[in-house]
Amino acid sequence: MNNDEFRQWSRRAADWGADYRNSLRERPVRPLVDPGDIFKSVETSPPETAEPMDEIFADFEQKILPGMTHWQHPRFFAYFPANAAPVSVVAEYLVSAMAAQCMLWQTSPAATELETRVVDWMRQALGLPEGFSGVMQDSASSATLAAMLTMRERALDWRGNEKGLQGQPTLRVYSSDQVHTSIDRAIWVSGIGEDNLVRIPVAGRFRAMDVAALDTAIVADREAGMLPAGIIACVGGTSTGGTDDVAGVAAVAKRHGLYLHVDAAWAGSAMICPEFRHFWTGAEQADSIVFNPHKWLGAQFDCSVQFIRQPEDLVRTLAIKPEFLKTHGRDGIINYSEWSVPLGRRFRALKLWFLLRAHGLENLRTMIRNHVAWSEGFAARLARESDFELVTEPMLSLFSFRHLAAAGIDSDEHNLRLVNAINDDGRIYLTQTRVNGQVAIRFQVGQFETTAADIDTAFEVVTEIARKLT
């Protein structure tokens, strides 16, 4: 592809993107395909000779697009959002065109320095105090792994990377059962092991860790000769929005000298609204915090911000400095590859910089406030219907519900049939979870371009299809 062709197809792709976004309401949110359909439509062997771009683009539209779930659809109410505000997409065009590796200051000075500035913008926007530095990771999974490795090294007096875990005391990490499965993966990859992730009982509307039980577990482990390393607190858990008493957990962490990581991957975006910050009171005492602007705030994936109280601990855990990665003759610079597990790094800060400038915090606050109000309104409407029940009350814009099955019908089977029927219908997309062992249907509002009318449509779809199943 020469430069003229690059210009032509870049314009074609940009026009296609705008047309695609404009057509989403007319598309089913989830594709109506069976497993293997797309695989069978793609040639079994790679081409030996070049093919015309017209044919490639046509195949994209005819073979790939029909098999895509539309995460930018305004009636996407499943999982959590993965928003890509249009201005963020424009910034990603520029990032892709430059194709810079931003691992060191010298490999992209502007990327490094903009990242430092934009992360501090986010610190201010979320109401966190000065003293937190930060880094942009690809996802909360990577941020949590970095935190897990740091708490491991700090607990082992920095011997783990050098000596390994054999012969060391058994490390213990504490969380509720409401945390994301990325915590399980982090404890696998860090070598600490699933058996040493201690699940603390939860209670209350927000299914918060029992702080007294947490303290008791730590004391018992120490008495048994094990080595407590850290605590993972949850703010806005994926299942139903489980949220810990962060201040209470932080007090326990301080009393026992443990590392505290706060996972606010989804809910953290809402903290740009001062009225929601009570959900993470105490977060300012954490050693690290992660939230994903690529979820609710509108920055295209991947874009995760990890705030860190003592970056020197993170660097001590992760930095490797072979000669070919040294920046000579420069003091006081940041090489963000030393703050993350991967060496290679994308220019993530640009899309967040574009987003914050193009929308401003007040417009983003309005969006989040609307989503919370619409979700609360939807929950209230369902609660007034005699054949529905709320399972968990709204936590920000997330709640869960069940449709009451007829006598003699298994409730779990009925609600799984319901969520599948809703998704096959195509007008909206929902997912399920389990609460106290029983199936519940999740509903969350978070897509960037959702309107109040989309919520009305969701109510109509849910009630209409549920009553057809009875």
Tell which CATH architecture fits domain 1-30+69-84+360-470.
Alpha-Beta Complex (3.90)
Q: Is the pLDDT of residue 374 over 70?
A: yes
Measured CA distances, 460 to 378, 405, 455, 465 (Å): 11, 19, 9, 8
Question: Does pLDDT of 257 surpass 90?
Answer: yes
Q: Is the pLDDT of residue 323 over 90?
A: no
Instruction: Please state whether beta strands 259-263 and 288-291 pair in parallel, antiparallel, or not at all (unpaired).
Output: parallel
CA separation for the pair 208, 399 (Å, rounded)? 16
**Residue 439: partners with Cβ closer than 8 Å, 6 or more residues away:** 402, 411, 412, 415, 416, 432, 433
Q: From CA 422, how far away is CA 424, in angstroms rounded?
A: 6
CATH of domain 101-346: 3.40.640.10
Closest by Cα among 368, 371, 431, 446 to 401: 431
For residue 138, pLDDT over 70 is answered with yes
| Cis status of the peptide bond prior to 302, with omega within 30 of 0 | yes
State the Cα–Cα distance between residues 238 and 391, nearest whole angstrom.
15
**441 strand-pairing partners:** 401, 432
The pLDDT of residue 265 is above 80: yes
Per-residue pLDDT band for 329 (boundaries 50, 70, 90) equals very low
pLDDT value of residue 320: 75
Rounded to the nearest integer, the mean pLDDT of the chain is 92
pLDDT of res. 328: 42
The model's confidence at residue 182, banded by pLDDT at 50, 70 and 90, is confident
- Give the residue extent of every domain in the chain: 1-30+69-84+360-470, 101-346
Q: At what angle do helices 246-256 and 211-223 cross, to 10 degrees?
A: 20
Does the pLDDT at position 307 exceed 90? yes
Supply φ then ψ for residue 108, to 5 degrees: -170, 80
pTM here?
0.91
Band of residue 453 on the pLDDT scale cut at 50, 70, 90: very high
The first and second tokens of residue 62, run together, are: 């005819």
Which DSSP string corresponds to 179-218? Answer: S-HHHHHHHHHTTS-GGGEEEPPEETTTTEE-HHHHHHHH
Place of tokens 């602007």: 293
CA distances from 301 to 73, 271, 293 (A): 15, 20, 8
pLDDT value, residue 206:
84
Rounded CA gap, 322 and 374, in Å?
A: 53
Helix (H, G, I), strand (E, B) or coil at 436: coil
Average pLDDT, integer, range 11-19: 94
Q: How far is the C-alpha of 113 from the C-alpha of 292, rounded, in Å?
A: 20
What's the Cα-to-Cα distance from 93 to each of 99, 347, 348, 354, rounded to whole Å?
Answer: 10, 11, 12, 12
Q: How much is the average pLDDT of 206-212? A: 91
Q: Kindly indicate the confidence band of residue 91, based on its pLDDT and cuts at 50, 70 and 90.
A: very high
**Which is more confident, 328 or 414?**
414
Percent residues over pLDDT 90 in the chain: 79
Element (H, E) at 463: helix 452-469
- In sequence order, what are the beta bridge partners of 227? 171
Q: Are 322 and 80 in contact (CB under 8 A)?
A: no
Would you put residue 136 in left (φ > 0), alpha (ψ -120 to 50) or beta?
A: beta
Per-residue pLDDT, averaged over 273-302, amounts to: 95
The pLDDT value recorded for residue 331 is 57
Whole-number Å distance between alpha carbons of 396 and 369 = 9
